[in-house]
Amino acid sequence: MKIALLGAESTGKSQLALALSARLEKAGLAVYRVDEYLREWCDIENRTPNPAEQQYIAETQMARVLAAPAESVVIADTTPLMTAVYSQMVFNDHSLDAYALQQHALFDITLLTGLDLAWVSDGLQRVGEHVREPVDQKIRQFLTQANLPFQVVYGSGEQRLENALFCIARQAPHLAKQLERPEPPTRWSGPCETCGDGDCEHRLFTSLVKG
């Protein structure tokens, strides 16, 4: 099983990948985590990539995903789709679109990290808070137009992890027992502040109105 984590910058993808890996391993599952290659690349080169280097970054990210043992649960901190999104937005380059969507279709579950966390500067690849909403919209556009299902994860700390597990159990009921979670209902019926329903964004809209 392959689980993809997508999201704009500073939305907790890396922290969620670590937390999910730890929880799934604790449940007795074999986990193979693939960290974001872009971060590694920027640390080595001490700069951000140019347009000609985007394809290599996307291909390396996916190659590491495909190197996972066959029986493992893969937790991928981004996929080539994120590279395609930024190629469009930064370089007006659509050359990676088809490849990114083709590769993303190999994932079984896609979790999109919500914009409810505060933006934090961290590394060369972060542009600024102003790009988060456009990036989020572009990710949704990619996935929706390609008919690739996804669920949105909100919450801070442990609640974000629990909501992600809710989404995973909903998409993979056969894992629910091993994760010690009941099979989720068709629609969430609990209070909004503990909502784990990745298809319901009432919490986000409520917080935006209050703000």
The pLDDT tens digits of the residues spanning 122-162 come to 655 555 677 899 999 999 999 999 999 999 999 988 999 99
Whole-structure pTM over 0.75, yes or no? yes
pLDDT at 157: 84
Q: What structural domains does the chain harbor?
A: 2-210 (3.40.50.300)
Mean pLDDT of the chain: 85
pLDDT computed for residue 120 by the predictor: 73
Distances (CA, A) of 26 to 20, 51, 124: 10, 41, 33
Least confident among 36-40, 65-69, 122-126, 167-171: 122-126
- Does the structure show a pLDDT above 50 at 17? yes
User: 16-20, 83-87, 119-123: which has the minimum mean pLDDT?
Assistant: 119-123
